[in-house]
Amino acid sequence: MRSWVTDTPDTGLARPGLTEDPHRERNMAEVEVGFIGSGDAFGSGGRFQTCIAIRTSDDFFLVDCGASSLIAMRKQQIEPREVSKILITHLHGDHFGGLPFFLLDAQLVSKRAAPLTLVGPLGLEERLKAAMEILFAGSSKVEPNFEVRFVELKARTPTQVDGIQITAFPAAHFSGAPSYSLRVEVEQKVFVYSGDSQWTDTLIEASADADLFVCESYVFDKEVALHNNYRTIMENRPRLTCKKIILTHMSDDVLSRAQQVELPMAEDGLWLHL
């Protein structure tokens, strides 16, 4: 497994509580990306489900919010009230299933007052309300003490949300609604997350010249419908023009063969500076 520290010492690795001084003075021009959860749907390796944080000079938001995300945030001492918006790649429980818990926490525990913006594919609002009713009957009908805004993404249509530009690219992954890879442009940095997707050349387009491409690598060399594998990523690596790539959403099939992996692998609590 390639290490961000030993192989690329200037990558800006930060692991709060391990290599990062929590009292250091932040460079207000930098963009930080943190893996609150880097796991698959089934907790492989004891990892939390997908939840990626992005912190800028004046903003803090999430990309995906799997069912275990609130637990992961509490464990990593991340305050949910700081989150201004949550971007959702697709409507599977390990990517948006944390929203009902996040919203109820905001209302009952965190006592949120600031607006919250939820950004995602067509059907997000409807599916979220249905999930809330299944998990906590009547909860979707309670008027929160804060404003919840919904922004719908359309494929290959740049969308401005609070000063960041989000472009959704079609992903090869069925979820009962459009599934996307997301390209996020903020403070002259470009972050791209594949979401869940079988390999498609759209990933090359979406990640073009990105500062960081976070790519799903669910299995090592098997062909699994709707998901990417490490072998195919490596076969296509020369075609990718992103500056950095890191793997995430790995099953035990990949984690058990980590020593054979030549690309950096995300882990819960890992922070990177772009």
CATH of the domain at 171: 3.60.15.10
Question: Which among 155, 245, 154, 231 has a CA at the least distance from the CA of 198?
Answer: 231
Q: Which amino acid is at 211?
A: D
Angle among Cα 268, 104, 52 to the nearest 5 degrees reads 25
Q: Give the Cα separation of 251 and 163 in Å (integer).
A: 35
Angle among Cα 53, 59, 64 to the nearest 5 degrees reads 30
7 domain-assigned: no
What is the chain's mean pLDDT, rounded?
91
Q: Give the confidence band of 26 by pLDDT, cuts at 50, 70, 90.
A: low
- Quote the percentage of the chain above a pLDDT of 70: 89
* Mean pLDDT of the 28-52 span: 94
* Mean pLDDT of the 188-208 span: 98
Q: How distant, in Å, are the alpha carbons of 35, 72, 80, 238 from that of 23? A: 20, 22, 20, 39
Question: Which among 95, 78, 96, 85 has a CA at the least distance from the CA of 58?
Answer: 85
4 domain-assigned: no
* Mean pLDDT of the 91-112 span: 97
* Mean pLDDT of the 131-136 span: 98
Domain of 116?
Answer: 13-273
- The whole-number pLDDT of residue 30 equals 87
167 domain-assigned: yes
- The whole-number pLDDT of residue 22 equals 37
94 domain-assigned: yes
HEC per residue, 185-226: EECCEEEEECCCCECCCHHHHHCCCCCEEEEECCECCCCCCC
8 domain-assigned: no
Q: Which helix (H) or strand (E) holds 271?
A: strand 271-273
Q: Give the confidence band of 7 by pLDDT, cuts at 50, 70, 90.
A: very low
DSSP state of 20: B
Q: Give the Cα separation of 45 and 183 in Å (integer).
A: 28
123 domain-assigned: yes
Q: Which residues pair with 87 in a beta bridge?
A: 63, 119
pLDDT(23) > 60: no
pLDDT(16) > 60: no
* Mean pLDDT of the 195-216 span: 98
Phi, psi angle pair for 116, to nearest 5°: -125, 130
Look at the alpha carbons of 259, 93, 210, 19 in this order and tell me if their dihedral is positive or negative: negative
186 domain-assigned: yes
Task: Give the count of domains, the chain.
Answer: 1
